[in-house]
Amino acid sequence: MKVTVKLMATYRKHLPPGSENGTCELNVSPGTTVREIISQFDIPLDSSSVILVNGRTLGLDHVPDENDVIAAFPSMAGG
């Protein structure tokens, strides 16, 4: 099944060559979790990252559906 991965800000550098607009499409097996998908990229899977599925925080163990968009970006602290 096909999912789109969108990496933003400093995470864009981890996309494969030829990716456009900060996104790439991946073919994954049904039942693949967000954690398994994002693990293919060199980004942290802890609280230093914000990871969304279709704009919602669903957790790393969520199994996305066909054509879902998984977005990741570094969390920011400020004051």
Within 8 A by CB and 6+ apart from 78, the residues are none
Amino acid at 65: D
Domain span at 39: 2-74
Domain presence at residue 79: no
In this predicted model, what pLDDT tens digit does every residue of 6-65 receive, in sequence order? 999 999 999 999 999 999 999 999 999 999 999 999 999 999 999 999 999 999 999 999
Domain presence at residue 38: yes
User: What is the pLDDT, as a whole number, of residue 76?
Assistant: 78
Question: ∠43-29-56 over CA atoms, to 5°?
Answer: 50
Total domains in the fold of the chain = 1
Domain presence at residue 66: yes
Instruction: Please list the residues that pair with 39 across neighbouring strands.
Output: none
Domain presence at residue 54: yes
Residue 79, pLDDT > 60, answer no
Domain presence at residue 28: yes
Domain presence at residue 43: yes
What is the model's pTM?
Answer: 0.91
CATH number, domain of 35, equals 3.10.20.30
Structure tokens at 20: 């456009």
